[in-house]
Amino acid sequence: MRFTGTRGMSLGDPAASDYESRIEISPAPAVGPVGGAGHIAGPNRHGSEAVRSFLKRYLVAMLVPLLFILFSLLAPSTFFTAYNIQTILTTNAVLIILAVGETAVLVTGEFDFSFGGTLGLTAAIVVMMISNLHGVSSGEAILVSLLAALLVGTLNAFFVIKLRVKSFIVTLGMGTLTTGIGLGVTGSQTVSNPSKFLTTAMTKHLLGVGLPFFYGLVLIIALWLIFEYVKTGRNMYFVGEGRKAAFLAGIHVNRIRVGVFIFSALCAWLAGMVMLGQTTAVDATYGGPYLLPVFASVFLGFTTIRAGRFNALGTLIGVLVLAIGSTGLEILSVASWVTQVFDGGVLIVAVALANILGGERIDRWL
């Protein structure tokens, strides 16, 4: 790389380099591939274009019924039962809730890897406060854990926005840090849930499906509404797609970025409460295994419904694909390690699909 065209890597003040690249209005920019994505597909491409655009939107969404039918045929007596469907939905509530938070963060072009730690920490706080401190009610303990989650979200935002550390790094560190504190709080023990309130709230059923699934569903719907029908949602997308343009257009870029980190931490807190209520015992590391399924779901969602955008319904579909796939494989009594192979494989395939269908834009994230 000697003195070749290096326009893109000019140095110094970024604003100045913006202008440098404009120096000498040679006609190239008008027709170069950069500005010229505007060649509209000719009529001969209409047919394939339509197929492409359909696939682009619904390929992953179609996996939900396809996988469902596949496993139902393979295991009609165990998979295709109301009980199994109810179980799938109930047990994946935590995943849905975490994925909602992550979707909001990814839309703005950031990452949050800390949800697992936040989940473990908040659950640990509740358990230890109730069991070790006399006279602390469930409500008080839950409130304290909520404050802890708020603190984690605020700290993430502080480091990312104020101190300009990449969210990738900050949240990766924060995830491990909070897990560590969680282990400290519980003395590295698996502790059992003393909160009757949580157990009741998280194990009640509606139509045979645990309530937490409906909490997740409400969050999905809320997120969908925000993205589609609320100004802030549109602005979140702008922040992710063109932070500089959004800033110059007078959008509160940093307010939005702070908001999503806090939102994500709150989702992790809710997921922690759900997990605590649904299981009899927890350990501060219980959030860790969710890292991959959460990202796999959200990226699967990126490829469908509103292909090329992180979107709430897509995320729900992503969760369902993973949930049906892994439950189906378990029911077929394939060894349990297959679930991990499936989750990991799906993530890679999802992102590859997004690349093929969505063009180069996804490169910015991955």
Among 158, 234, 292, 365, binds other proteins (CB under 8 A): 234
Among 74, 147, 169, 248, binds other proteins (CB under 8 A): 248
Residue 256 near residue 239, CB atoms below 8 Å? yes
Residue 172 near residue 180, CB atoms below 8 Å? no
By the rule CB under 8 A, 24 interacts with other proteins: yes
Among 48, 51, 66, 228, binds other proteins (CB under 8 A): 228
HSE-CB at 199 with a 13 A cutoff on CA atoms is 10
- 5/135 with CB nearer other proteins: 5
Angle between helix 138-157 and 253-278 (nearest 10) = 140
By the rule CB under 8 A, 163 interacts with other proteins: no
* Total residues in contact with other proteins, by rule CB under 8 A: 58
By the rule CB under 8 A, 246 interacts with other proteins: yes
Residues within window 184-213 making contact with other proteins, judged by CB under 8 A: none
Stretch that binds other proteins, among 13-21, 98-106, 108-116, 286-294 (CB under 8 A): 13-21
By the rule CB under 8 A, 45 interacts with other proteins: no
Tokens (6 digits) for 45: 């491409």
Q: Tell me how far, at minimum, the Cβ of 158 lies from other proteins, in Å.
A: 20
Euclidean distance between CA atoms 141 and 197, whole angstroms: 11
Residue 342 near residue 325, CB atoms below 8 Å? yes
By the rule CB under 8 A, 361 interacts with other proteins: yes
- 31/335 with CB nearer other proteins: 31
Q: Tell me how far, at minimum, the Cβ of 229 lies from other proteins, in Å.
A: 5
- 173/242 with CB nearer other proteins: 242
Stretch that binds other proteins, among 5-13, 171-179, 188-196, 271-279 (CB under 8 A): 5-13
Euclidean distance between CA atoms 228 and 231, whole angstroms: 8
CA proximity to 299, closest of 342, 349, 341, 256: 349
By the rule CB under 8 A, 356 interacts with other proteins: no
User: Rounded to whole angstroms, what are the CA distances from 240 to 13, 119, 287, 304?
Assistant: 22, 25, 26, 18
Euclidean distance between CA atoms 148 and 152, whole angstroms: 6
Residues within window 295-354 making contact with other proteins, judged by CB under 8 A: 308
Chain-centre distance for alpha carbon 240: 14
Tokens (6 digits) for 116: 């697992």
By the rule CB under 8 A, 77 interacts with other proteins: no
Among 32, 139, 184, 289, binds other proteins (CB under 8 A): 32
At 266, phi and psi to the nearest 5? -65, -40
Chain-centre distance for alpha carbon 57: 19
At 22, phi and psi to the nearest 5? -95, -10
Stretch that binds other proteins, among 25-33, 105-113, 201-209, 283-291 (CB under 8 A): 25-33
Site residues (vs other proteins, CB under 8 A): 1-7, 9-13, 15-32, 34-40, 225, 228-231, 234, 237-238, 241-242, 244-252, 308, 361
